[in-house]
Amino acid sequence: MSESQLRNNPDSERIVKMLIDLSIDRYKEMSKSFKASRMTVLESKLTPSNKGIRFYISTIHFIDGKPPIALIATHIHPFDKPYGIIFLMSVVADKHLKEDQMLYDNIFNSFHLVGEQSVLG
């Protein structure tokens, strides 16, 4: 999909939401492979990009008898390309997870597509 096709489509918000929902469904599949008893989506949000559809998802997976695992990722679907790119980090969800969130945000915000303007600050 091109940028103009997305921007000019009256259903563009629904298309982006479908991409995010599809990605969350894949996290649910991963959670099952971890043998997690449950999964919670901590956050999902669209992040601005001039080069594609970009969004952030963080989830936590609860595994009986083990510390929870957090999966944190930035997904990028470049305009006019037949692929997507995912930067995924897994961390043990301990008491420092919230404290370390700024560090994780800085790591993810450092990744950019060639020519992508930093609009994240």
pLDDT in the model for residue 90: 87
Of 20, 29, 26, which is closest to residue 55 (Cα–Cα)? 20
Residue 115 lies in a domain: no
Mean pLDDT for the stretch of residues 47-64 = 91
Residue 32 lies in a domain: yes
The domain of 53 spans 3-109
83-96: pLDDT as tens digits: 999 999 888 877 76
Residues with Cβ within 8 Å of residue 111, at least 6 apart in sequence: 74, 87
Q: pTM of the full predicted structure?
A: 0.82
For the chain, what is the domain count? 1
Task: Determine what percent of the chain is predicted with pLDDT higher than 70.
Answer: 93
pLDDT in the model for residue 118: 54
Mean pLDDT for the stretch of residues 36-64 = 92
Residue 93 lies in a domain: yes
